[in-house]
Amino acid sequence: MSTYKLVCPHCKSRMRIRTSEGRHIFLRIAYLQCTTEACGWSVRAEFEMTHELSPSGMPDPQVHLPRASGEVRKAALEPGLQKSPGPRARRASSIKTNKALGPNCA
């Protein structure tokens, strides 16, 4: 399962969702707070489902969202929107790079 990667625009620390409430089946209101105590920025956010990228295998006839355009669906598959490699994969990649640079390079 993935998690939201919300970043404070002021200090660049992670934001945490303090609480949230469902307003509609497609809309959730969240209250976020910066995890850096000295910053303490807090904000209200809205998470909204706006377009269907692919149809459900178990459709509910009461659920209606507009189908995303081909351009939007294609953009959702671009590497920048996919899950980034985990810390082990990044560390392994870093080790390979460092070995290529020589024994004195960290």
List the structure tokens of 19.
């609480």
pLDDT at 80: 65
Q: Is residue 40 part of a domain?
A: yes
Range of the domain at 33: 1-50
Question: Is residue 46 domain-resident?
Answer: yes
* pLDDT in 10s for each residue of the chain, 106 residues: 556 689 999 999 999 999 999 999 999 999 999 999 999 999 999 999 999 999 999 999 999 999 999 999 999 888 765 554 444 444 444 444 344 444 444 4
> E strands along the chain, which residues?
15-24, 27-34, 42-48
What's the number of domains the chain is made of? 1
Domain presence at residue 34: yes
- 79: three-class secondary structure by DSSP: helix
pLDDT at 77: 86
Is 74 inside a domain boundary?
no
The model's pTM is 0.60
Query: What are residue 41's phi and psi, to 5 degrees?
Result: -60, 135
Asked if residue 24 is part of any domain, the answer here is: yes
| 31 DSSP β-pair partners | 19, 44
